[in-house]
């Protein structure tokens, strides 16, 4: 349920609505970033009539039930696109945000070389994993805090914002200290303890889609974060598990227009994991932007053949530069700038 | 195996290689290319040595084809296949746009649809006369009457007709009317039908099975091509996944992967691929951006009254707007629209 105020409703009228919600044993959750004041009503609202309760209160424009099971992330509750301000760099809105960098942070030289290269090609975010959720316990697990320090160093050197994965509640505090955007990996999309914790921090979140999560389950996972008060969430489509084996995953580009209609959150596409084959990453990056994605996250490694992870899908800096050229052309064709 | 002839090999030299292949009990498939002739060999159970051909006059090279699909692979034919559908290209730099109703329902309906999609820039008219509906109680198509109406619409508009053939029995009749024979997703592995299509000389639009891998799909195309019909285009129309919010999951990964593996044209069907009218345009744009050679789109003059697929059919106006968007993306990737 949500209550929308009239454009010129007074602060006192809004306060009265919040009081009324609390008096019913429910929690008011004001929605930010909207033109009109909107407050969501959280709690057990089954059987309550929104119009009966709030319709006649002064300053109230309308009080409605949200038809979707996801509430705060839905466009019904907030019509305007969410634009996340990551220390002056925007994620969401008209400009397409480009995040690029290696799968894993491997060394000082590697991360600095990658950061300078992607920055020169037009990226505004640096991706790189310090804590890696690898399929095999015998594979490289990341440099941990040392990796985070190297990411911070690369940020200092280039001005890029750092996107890095947080794997568990234990390391959340540490990762949040270094990261500008906290990535929740596909395998953690439904790690509800972690989602609740990142809902309580004041940091933008990039929530990757689970390998076999439906769009509804994914939006419910985002709702976990937002319902705890952190509205700075972006969704990242990274391919789903299907019967096809020629590609690493099947990038579900259908998800892009469907999500843009259902939610106000920014939608980012990860063509690197989505197809998993270096020569085809640019084609599918173009497709993502043409479908309406708000951003791209792409694996770039100065020497993919020597990468400790995901070398087969990482672009060289030269290939990334060419991809950016192609993406700019597609973005231009639909009237969107790249980077901000 | 593939025997690659030298650029200026004589017809006689090509003929001797073909003769040699036949004498070994194998089938020869000469494939003319822009630079040179290549001869595909099928029926090889292993044990065939390239040296047999390498020493023959006019032969440049004899190579094993690593993929299980042979004649449709880029290894065998490097140049893109461009199908000439009575003067309208399918494949190549120009995007082929196919549009029209799911089913032919009446004279007025198909003529109205044909004129509308023609005006918006389509060169092919789609429309089903034989419909493989999930339920046996639903509208099954107008059969031959529908084909006659498609022919009438072709006469009036000049559009080429793409229509589905469902079985071997009706194949002669459907090919009499159609310019392009569509093989529906559910028939992708109807190998009896595929073999018959290989025997005729009509372009075929082979849709991907709802749960066919790319390899299985290329093998199905190989069934047709191996019988001598090289005029095959592939159509990605979405696969079956766990997602229920969309009708299918349009696998656009398939587009660049196919373009690398095969010389056949690749068409995208965003209507079935997402199944939601509001989002067809976004997926059509994405398909072109990924490198598709064409689009097939459901357009109905009155979607709310359609006997099938109304929920994913565009109105003529929506199609016009989609074409405007597709033209912009096509321009951005250096492709033209006829």
Reading the block at residue A327, the tokens are 């993406």
Q: Which of B68, B253, B321 to mutate to test the interface with A (most CBs of A within 10 A)?
A: B253
pLDDT given at position A340: 62
| pLDDT averaged over every residue in chain B | 95
Which ranges constitute the DSSP H helices of A49-168? 50-54, 108-121, 145-158
Q: Per-residue confidence at B33, pLDDT binned at 50, 70, 90?
A: confident
User: Got the DSSP string for A188-219?
Assistant: GTT-HHHHHHHHTSSS-EEEEPPTT--HHHHH
Chain B hits for A326, Cβ within 8 Å: 333
Burial class (CB in 10 A: 0-12, 13-18, 19+), A76: middle
Q: Around A20, how many Cα atoms within 13 Å sit in the side-chain half-sphere?
A: 21
Average pLDDT, stretch A248-273? 98
Q: How far is A330 from chain B (nearest CA, A)?
A: 6
Question: What residues of B are in contact with residue A288 (Cβ under 8 Å)?
Answer: 286
Q: Using alpha carbons only, what angle is made at residue A44 by residues A39 and A45, rounded to the nearest 5 degrees?
A: 60
Average pLDDT (A246-251) is: 97
Task: Give the mean model confidence (pLDDT) for residues B222-251.
Answer: 97
In this model, does residue B236 exceed pLDDT 80? Answer: yes
pLDDT in tens, B66-97: 888 999 999 899 999 999 999 999 999 999 99
Residue A255 pLDDT greater than 90, yes or no: yes
Tokens standing for A65? 């039930």
Average the pLDDT over B151-180 and give the result: 98
pLDDT for the residue B237? 98
What pLDDT shows up at residue A26? 93
| 3-class SS of residue B303 | helix
Give Cβ neighbours of residue A20 (< 8 Å, ≥ 6 apart).
Answer: A53, A54, A57
pLDDT for A200: 96
pLDDT of residue A7: 85
The beta-carbon neighbor of A242 closest among B241, B257, B286 is B241
Q: What is the mean pLDDT of residues A257-261?
A: 98
Binding-site residues on chain B for chain A (CB distance < 8 A): 211, 213-215, 238-239, 241-246, 249-257, 260, 273-274, 276, 278-279, 282-283, 285-291, 325, 328-329, 331-333
Question: What are the pLDDT digits (tens) for A174-225?
Answer: 999 999 999 999 999 999 999 999 999 999 999 999 999 999 999 999 999 9
Across A287-309, average pLDDT:
96
Sign of CA dihedral A223, A228, A234, A238: negative
> What whole-number percentage of chain A has pLDDT above 70?
99
pLDDT computed for residue A287 by the predictor: 98
Q: Cβ separation of B289 and A279 shorter than 8 Å?
A: no
- Record: contact B245-A251, CB cut-off 8 A: no
pLDDT range class, residue A94, cuts 50, 70, 90: very high
A331 touches A289 (CB < 8 A):
yes
Q: For A115-126, what is the mean pLDDT?
A: 98
Lowest pLDDT segment from A3-17, A23-37, B246-260: A23-37
User: Mean pLDDT for chain A?
Assistant: 95
CB A103 within 8 A of CB A110: no
CB contact under 8 Å between A252 and B239, yes or no, is no
């Amino acid at each position: 349920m949500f209550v929308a105020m009239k454009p010129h409703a007074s602060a006192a009228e809004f306060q009265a609505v919040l009081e009324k919600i609390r008096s019913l044993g429910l929690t008011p959750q004001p929605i930010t970033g909207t033109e009109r004041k909107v407050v969501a009503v959280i709690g057990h609202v089954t059987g309550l009539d929104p119009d009966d309760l709030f319709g006649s209160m002064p300053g109230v424009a309308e009080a409605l039930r949200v038809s979707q099971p996801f509430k705060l992330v839905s466009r019904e509750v907030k019509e305007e696109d969410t634009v996340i301000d990551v220390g002056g760099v925007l994620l969401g809105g008209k400009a397409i945000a480009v995040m690029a960098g290696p799968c894993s942070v491997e060394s000082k030289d590697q991360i600095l070389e990658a950061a300078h290269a992607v920055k020169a090609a037009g990226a505004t975010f640096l991706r790189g994993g310090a804590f890696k959720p690898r399929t095999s316990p015998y594979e490289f697990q990341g440099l941990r805090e040392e990796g985070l320090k190297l990411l911070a160093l690369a940020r200092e050197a280039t001005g890029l914002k750092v996107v890095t994965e947080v794997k568990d509640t234990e390391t959340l505090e540490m990762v949040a200290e270094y990261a500008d955007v906290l990535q929740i990996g596909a395998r953690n999309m439904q790690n509800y303890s972690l989602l609740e914790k990142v809902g309580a921090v004041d940091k933008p979140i990039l929530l990757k889609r689970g390998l076999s999560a439906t769009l509804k389950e994914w939006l419910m996972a985002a709702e976990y974060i937002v319902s705890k008060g952190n509205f700075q969430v972006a969704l990242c489509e990274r391919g789903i598990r299907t019967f096809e084996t020629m590609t690493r995953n099947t990038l579900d580009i259908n998800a892009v227009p469907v999500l843009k209609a259902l939610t106000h959150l920014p939608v980012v596409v990860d063509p690197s994991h989505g197809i998993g084959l270096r020569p085809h990453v640019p084609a599918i990056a173009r497709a993502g932007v043409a479908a309406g994605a708000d951003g791209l996250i792409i694996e770039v490694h100065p020497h993919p053949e020597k990468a400790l992870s995901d070398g087969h899908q990482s672009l060289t800096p030269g290939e990334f530069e060419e991809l950016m050229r192609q993406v700019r052309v597609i973005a231009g064709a639909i009237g969107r700038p790249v980077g901000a | 195996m593939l025997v690659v002839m030298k650029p200026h090999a004589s017809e006689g030299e090509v003929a001797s290689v073909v003769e040699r292949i036949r004498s070994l009990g194998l089938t020869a498939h000469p494939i003319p290319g822009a630079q040179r002739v290549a001869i595909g060999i099928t029926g090889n159970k292993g044990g065939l040595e390239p040296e047999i051909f390498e020493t023959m006059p006019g032969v440049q090279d004899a190579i094993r084809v690593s993929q299980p699909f042979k004649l449709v692979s880029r290894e065998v034919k490097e140049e893109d296949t461009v199908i000439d559908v009575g003067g309208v290209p399918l494949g190549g730099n120009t995007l082929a746009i196919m549009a029209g109703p799911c089913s032919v329902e009446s004279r007025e309906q198909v003529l109205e649809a044909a004129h509308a999609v023609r005006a918006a820039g389509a060169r092919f008219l789609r429309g089903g006369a034989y419909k493989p509906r999930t339920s046996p109680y639903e509208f099954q198509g107008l059969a031959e009457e529908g084909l006659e109406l498609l022919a009438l619409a072709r006469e009036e508009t000049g559009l080429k007709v793409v229509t589905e053939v469902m079985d071997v029995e009706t194949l002669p009749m459907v090919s009499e009317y159609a310019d392009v024979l569509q093989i529906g997703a559910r028939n992708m592995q109807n190998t009896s039908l595929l073999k018959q299509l290989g025997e005729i000389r009509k372009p075929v639009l082979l849709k991907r099975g709802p749960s066919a891998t790319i390899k299985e799909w290329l093998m199905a195309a190989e069934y047709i091509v191996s019988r001598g019909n090289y005029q095959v285009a592939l159509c990605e129309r979405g696969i079956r996944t766990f997602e229920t919010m969309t009708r299918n999951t349009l696998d656009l990964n398939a587009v660049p992967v196919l373009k690398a593996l095969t010389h056949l044209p690749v068409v995208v069907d965003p209507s079935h691929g997402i199944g939601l009218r509001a989002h067809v345009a976004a997926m059509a744009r994405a398909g072109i951006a990924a490198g598709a050679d064409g689009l097939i789109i459901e357009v109905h003059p009155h979607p709310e009254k359609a006997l099938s697929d109304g929920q994913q059919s565009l109105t003529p106006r929506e199609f016009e707007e989609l074409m405007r968007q597709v033209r912009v993306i096509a321009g951005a990737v250096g492709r033209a629209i006829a």
